[in-house]
Amino acid sequence: MKNILIVGSTGQIGSELSIRLRSIYGDNNVICGYYKPPYPDNFFDLGPTVEIDATNIDQIADAVKKYKIDTIYNLAAILSATAEKNPKLGWSVGMDSLMNCLDVARELNCAVFTPSSIGAFGNNTPKDKTPQDTIQRPNTVYGITKVVGELLSDYYYSRWGVDTRSVRFPGIISNLTHPGGGTTDYAVEIFYNAVQGEKFTCPVKAGTYMDMMYMPDALDAAIQIMEADPSKLVHRNSFNIASMSFDPEMIYAEIKKHYPQFVMDYDVDPLKQAIADSWPNSLDDTCAREEWGWSPKYDLAKMTIDMIQVLKERYLQQTLTLQK
């Protein structure tokens, strides 16, 4: 990778991936494509930006030509629970953005990364240590777009040689961007409530296990898969990756080690619960480990320590700023 375009750079993954990629490849070699105003405000100041509607192929093509892009990170999507409330929008953003990036990549010789998700699996999928190759029958529009995305990406690779690569992200826990409507977002929100001394009401019931991942590991995966030796890749689209699996009671207990007075109760959201119940409890990521050396750095305990430290420092800084 030399010149990189991130489509959807202001989302949960994109905002942090932009910073990480610029630290590796240089500020001027990573172009942040955005649709909504950036968050946080200052990360756009570090390098080139371009306004891109991911459903507009001409805007993507123009950016690729202008900046001599060789790698596209296509991160445009409407997350699971939000997409269920507006399926047409979820389909349009998920599929139009992918087709546009693939067509531009085919014409202008770019590699393409498009994340898949645990949402690509469904009720008929084996729940525990879900295999790399298994039945995929999701019951959400978000999951359907991910399955189609995997198949399309493989098609563009086998039919036209487009260098497509992907990972199936678990729920991603970030300390920088706020949740954006995903089923696993409770595992982010709970930390904000704990650090601010507020009770947390969990929208999924106890015993609901889902694979999760701390953002630094997710960023590593997105970069490492694109840097991997293509001759060793058997599964391009898409690799299972994993680092931890837990239910609400487990993350609650871990946080209470640091905040003994923290309180959590439940008010189950039927939509989010139904989506969570259709997803795997845990993924088997053997293929990613064997084919490109995937190895996460964070487990639940280590992630909890880091999340709390970062959020405490941020809230302290905000308090000091308000007192000035």
Residue 82's pLDDT is 82
**What does the alpha-carbon distance between residue 193 and residue 111 come to, in Å, rounded to a whole number?**
40
- Give the residue with greater pLDDT, 45 vs 146: 146
Instruction: Look at residues 96, 224, 234 and name the one whose alpha carbon lies nearest to residue 158.
Output: 234
Q: In sequence order, what E strands does the chain have?
A: 4-7, 30-34, 49-51, 71-74, 111-113, 116-117, 164-165, 167-169, 171-173, 200-202, 210-214, 239-240, 244-246, 264-266
Read off the DSSP letter of residue 93. I
Instruction: Look at residues 48, 46, 19, 23 and name the one whose alpha carbon lies nearest to residue 34.
Output: 48
**What does the alpha-carbon distance between residue 142 and residue 105 come to, in Å, rounded to a whole number?**
23
Instruction: Look at residues 132, 157, 82, 56 and name the one whose alpha carbon lies nearest to residue 291.
Output: 132
Q: How many CB atoms lie within 10 A of CB 159?
A: 9
Strands 4-7 and 30-34: parallel
pLDDT band at 176 (very low <50, low <70, confident <90, very high): confident
Strands 171-173 and 210-214: parallel
Cβ contact 77:143 at 8 Å = no
Residue 79 C-beta-side C-alpha neighbours within 13 Å: 17
- Give the residue with greater pLDDT, 268 vs 77: 268
Percentage above 90 pLDDT, the chain: 78
Tell me which of 34, 142, 214, 298 is the catalytic residue: 142
Instruction: Look at residues 227, 260, 222, 160 and name the one whose alpha carbon lies nearest to residue 15.
Output: 222
Read off the DSSP letter of residue 178. P
Residue 85's pLDDT is 87
Residue 81's pLDDT is 76
Which of 119-123, 174-178, 251-255 has the weakest average pLDDT? 174-178
pLDDT tens digits, one per residue of 309-324? 999 998 877 765 665 5
**What does the alpha-carbon distance between residue 9 and residue 16 come to, in Å, rounded to a whole number?**
8
Strands 30-34 and 49-51: parallel
pLDDT > 90? residue 266? yes
pLDDT tens digits, one per residue of 6-27? 999 988 899 899 999 999 999 9
pLDDT band at 34 (very low <50, low <70, confident <90, very high): confident
**What does the alpha-carbon distance between residue 305 and residue 254 come to, in Å, rounded to a whole number?**
9
pLDDT tens digits, one per residue of 127-157? 999 999 999 999 899 999 999 999 999 999 9
Q: How many CB atoms lie within 10 A of CB 260?
A: 7
Q: How far is CA 304 from CA 177, 256, 262, 300, 309, in A?
A: 16, 10, 14, 6, 9
- Over the Cα atoms of the chain, what is R_g? 19
What is the chain's length? 324
Residue 183's pLDDT is 81
pLDDT band at 256 (very low <50, low <70, confident <90, very high): very high
Query: Does residue 73 have an active-site annotation?
Result: no
Instruction: Look at residues 184, 148, 182 and name the one whose alpha carbon lies nearest to residue 166.
Output: 148
Residue 42's pLDDT is 56
